[in-house]
Amino acid sequence: MPIELYDVSYVYAPGTPNAVTALNAVTLRVDDGESLGIIGPTGSGKSTLVQHLNGLLKPARGRVLVDGEDLSQRATNLRNVRRKVGVIFQYPEHQLFEETVAKDIAFGPRNLGVPEAQLQERVRDAMAMVGLPEQLAERSPFELSGGQMRRVAIAGVLAMAPKVLVLDEPTAGLDPRGRAEILAHIRALHHRLGLTLVIVSHNMEDIARMTRRLAVMDRGRVVMDGPTPAVFSQTQRLRGLGLGTPQITAVMEKLRERGLAVRLDVLTVEEARDEIVAGLNRGQSGA
Partner 1 sequence: MLRGVIIGQYYAAESPIHRLDPRTKIGVTFVFIVALFVAHAFAAFAVLAGFGWLALYLSRVPPRMILRGLRPILFILAFTLVLHVFMADGRTWFQLGPFTATWEGLHQGAFVATRLVILIGTTSLLTLTTSPIALTDGLERLLKPLSRLGVPAHELAMMMTIALRFIPTLLEEAEKVMKAQMARGADFETGNMLQRARSLVPLLVPLFVGAFRRADELAMAMEARCYRGGEHRTRMRQLRAGPADYVTVAATGLVAAVVVLMRWGFGP
Residues near partner 1 (CB under 8 A): 51, 54, 56, 79, 82-83, 86-89, 92, 94-97, 107-108, 111-112, 142, 156-157, 160
Q: Which is nearer to partner 1, 158 or 231 (CB)?
A: 158
Residue 37 or 86: which CB sits closer to partner 1? 86
Amino acid at 174: L
Please report how close the Cβ of residue 135 comes to partner 1 at its closest, in angstroms. Answer: 23
The nearer residue to partner 1, 6 or 91, going by C-beta atoms, is 91
Shortest CB 195 distance to partner 1, Å: 16
CA atoms within 13 A on the CB side of 115: 2
The sign of the CA dihedral 212, 157, 154, 96 is positive
* Helix (H), strand (E) counts: the chain: 11, 10
173 to 92, 201, 271: CA distances (angstroms):
11, 12, 29
Identify which of residues 59 and 86 has a Cβ nearer to partner 1 in the complex: 86
Q: Residue 105 in contact with residue 156, Cβ under 8 Å?
A: yes
Closest distance between partner 1 and the C-beta of residue 43, in Å?
Answer: 15
C-alpha dihedral, 210 to 213 to 218 to 224, nearest 10°: 150
Cβ 166 to partner 1 shortest distance, Å: 9
Whole-number Å distance between alpha carbons of 199 and 206: 9
What DSSP state is assigned to residue 284?
H
Q: CB-wise, 112 or 250, nearer to partner 1?
A: 112
CB of 6 to partner 1, least distance (A): 22
Q: Distance between CA atoms of 282 and 262, rounded to whole angstroms?
A: 10
Give the DSSP per-residue string, 57-103: S--SEEEEEETTEETTSTTS-HHHHHHHEEEE-SSGGGG--SSSHHH
CB nearer to partner 1: pick between 182 and 267: 182
Smallest distance, partner 1 to C-beta of residue 159, A: 9
User: What is the closest distance, in whole angstroms, from the C-beta atom of residue 78 to partner 1 in the complex?
Assistant: 8
State which residue, 79 or 191, has the beta carbon closest to partner 1. Answer: 79
CA atoms within 13 A on the CB side of 269: 0
